[in-house]
A and B are shown apart, each in its own frame.
Chain A
């Protein structure tokens, strides 16, 4: 099969890119490992930023974003995205997004780190409603979807991308899909922290790992944002909108101990330290009142009751910080171009350097829409020679899948995966230290060596979800190695990356960390380090 533009991932970034590529009259295929609307984007609750308030300005949005980035954002990218934001909301409105309204305009709420109410929302279903509106429009425009196909690899020859190899989940056959340009929109990798992550199952970063294997550079992987308020048992997110409206964070004695509107990294650290000292921490939403909670945060209330057995209207909600968003990703420029010809990336899997060391709430949906569209447009206009033949990569991947069925399965990978997620949360999480991280790194490398002794028990070629999880786990091992290496080499604290052994910011490190693979060997460096 051959198409003009293939987009891997059907989240808000992927669908925004698809619609824009379609405007240029190109044939567009969107591939996803699930069904199109089952992307993590549906989970976003808080909002999408745009300076629409009369007291707000594009300049203020730029300044807030830059401040939060701790010197690691690209000013050109920040300026572009923030100045496009009002137009992006206008576009989303014009294609049907049912944003909440106030005084007959798109309603705004204030999220942490913002000087003004700046987040446009649709109750606490912001991501869901944007995603479904984009999906409806994709159907209208004739975007083609390939569901239940799992990205294995990017086919590259002479540093130029030719297509992708996909595992068809229903048949377990490996297929190749060739395209003039390839856009990765596979989302972040926050779920490598397992039960300590707000993310959905599936956010393991195969797109990043595949890009790295193909020779692309990844950057700033050490910057993982922890969200301060997730439910203690399930790590389900309680959106920042709750704090924006006045919810308090309190300890076991019911006392406040931090500024609820501080940045996410500061708050997460404050809560983490409380928890480390054996205390429990709660979110107190009682003062917001039932009417407000039902109108603005109905989803939160429902989830708190199901998962924590607590009604936030009446009781304190037990919380802890959880891995939420990965700032780093496939290194791209403003056009979404990676270091490989014809390979593009947008959304959370990419690092366009909008967020730097710390993302502001509401800026990632904005990035997904603005840079998703821009990348989709650039990719659609791109020209590349692609010889139509069966590529070596495809054959190798076919053999690889066959081989997985024959692995001895002497070590249980699911136990390993759970173990690794705990190690990462405790040692490469909210607070980090060299020695402990080096320990984690050697565990990851040990697990990599032992992959050949793992395997799957389910031998069915029909929709084998254990096989999928095993491949995801292999990717996790590849990607977390790179993340931990990046975290170890940054001997300073900046934004979400907090080193107990280097608690200060050190501007020698005011540079982007870069990782890549050469002949299968992981390499790491800084771009522009003094």
Chain B
């Protein structure tokens, strides 16, 4: 069977071309990529580590949708390209430095914590803390097209994870950190939730953050024109 990979190398002219490769059936996409590199094309560049869906290095787009290469079974005719939104370095390798910075900007870390929590309290953060920072959600988010400074889904989900953590004492400061370029910029399109390989639901976490922010007295700026029903006369 054949798969097509969008290749990219900025020093070449043209920098981007599609290349088709023959690969054996019944392989994960990551196995297929390794197969190509080992036997056909040493210049093919991609990232991987764990091959078991926990290190977050191998996400790519398959037929337009984000997938972990190590958890996706390659199919005949698949079109493989690098993640969107993040900068492409070479072939399927992308830059994570700028995007990982959103964690700092969103204060997505414990601010003031004590130890000890109950079973029920742990369950509140269980799903969110399954995040492997694979960037699938980030790549799928339409907001970045118009606003590159948006904090994005994984940083907001992680911020939420610390807000609802019963050990965290500084809830308010977490909310303060996700207002600007954060929760109100999300269009609630649900793309991120759709593509997350870990079954995390950043959209609903963002909704939760919005309602918490309202309780802390923040107002959704998108609703401020509410009196005119959003219509302009």
Q: List residues of chain A with CB under 8 Å of any chain B CB.
A: 34-40, 42-43, 90, 93-96, 98-104, 122-123, 125, 127-129, 132, 136-137, 139-140, 147, 170, 200-202, 234, 236-237, 299, 302-303, 306-307, 414, 456-458, 460, 462-466
Contact = CB atoms under 8 A, between A and B. Distances in A.
Given A306-B71, A460-B11, A463-B45, A90 B115 contact: yes
Given A93-B116, A299-B52, 16 more contacts: A38-B55, A90-B115, A93-B115, A96-B165, A99-B122, A104-B117, A104-B119, A123-B126, A137-B110, A140-B107, A140-B109, A147-B97, A303-B53, A465-B37, A465-B45, A466-B42
A361 to B, nearest CB: 17
A396 to B, nearest CB: 26
Interface in B117-165: 117-119, 121-122, 125-126, 129-133, 158, 162, 165
Per CB-CB distance, the 5 closest pairs between chain A and chain B, nearest first, are: A94-B115, A136-B109, A93-B115, A140-B109, A457-B42
Contacts of A466: 37, 42-43
B9 A34 contact: no
Interface residues of B, number: 57
B50 interface: yes
Contacts of A38: 47, 49-50, 55-57
A39 B133 CA distance: 12
Contacts, number: 151
Contacts of A127: 54
B205 to A, nearest CB: 15
B49 A34 contact: yes
A136 B103 contact: yes
B89 A200 contact: no
Interface in B31-79: 37-38, 42-43, 45-57, 71, 73
A35 B100 contact: yes
Contact of B57 (A35, A303, A306): A35
A201 B89 contact: no
Nearest to A306: B71
A396 B166 CA distance: 54
A125 B38 contact: no
B50 A42 contact: yes
A34 to B, nearest CB: 6
Interface string B79-94: 0000000000110010
B114 interface: yes
B97 A129 contact: no
B129 to A, nearest CB: 5
Contact of B51 (A102, A103, A200): A200
A463 B93 contact: yes
B49 A202 contact: yes
A96 B109 CA distance: 8
B172 to A, nearest CB: 17
A414 B57 contact: no
Interface string B4-25: 0000011100000000000000
Interface of B: 9-11, 28, 37-38, 42-43, 45-57, 71, 73, 89-90, 93, 96-97, 100, 103-104, 107-111, 113-119, 121-122, 125-126, 129-133, 158, 162, 165, 167-168
B119 A101 contact: yes
Contacts of A129: 129
A40 B89 CA distance: 23
Given A306-B28, A306-B71, A43 B108 contact: no
A94 B113 contact: yes
A140 B118 CA distance: 25
B158 to A, nearest CB: 7
Contacts of B45: 463-465
Given A40-B50, A465-B45, A102 B129 contact: no
Given A123-B126, A139-B109, A299-B54, A96 B28 contact: no
Given A102-B119, A457-B43, A139 B103 contact: yes
A383 B129 CA distance: 39
Nearest to B28: A306
Contacts of A237: 52
B119 A42 contact: no
A95 B162 CA distance: 11
A193 to B, nearest CB: 14
Contact of A42 (B10, B38, B126, B132): B132
Given A136-B103, A136-B109, A466-B42, A460 B9 contact: yes
12 contacts: A35-B100, A40-B50, A90-B115, A96-B162, A96-B165, A99-B122, A101-B118, A128-B132, A136-B162, A170-B89, A462-B10, A466-B42
Contacts of A90: 115
A125 B119 contact: no
A93 B115 CA distance: 5
Nearest to A237: B52
Contacts of B57: 34-35, 38
Nearest to B104: A139
Given A38-B55, A101-B122, A94 B42 contact: no
A37 B110 contact: no
B108 A98 contact: no
A200 B38 contact: no
Contacts of B37: 465-466
Contacts of B51: 200-201, 234, 236
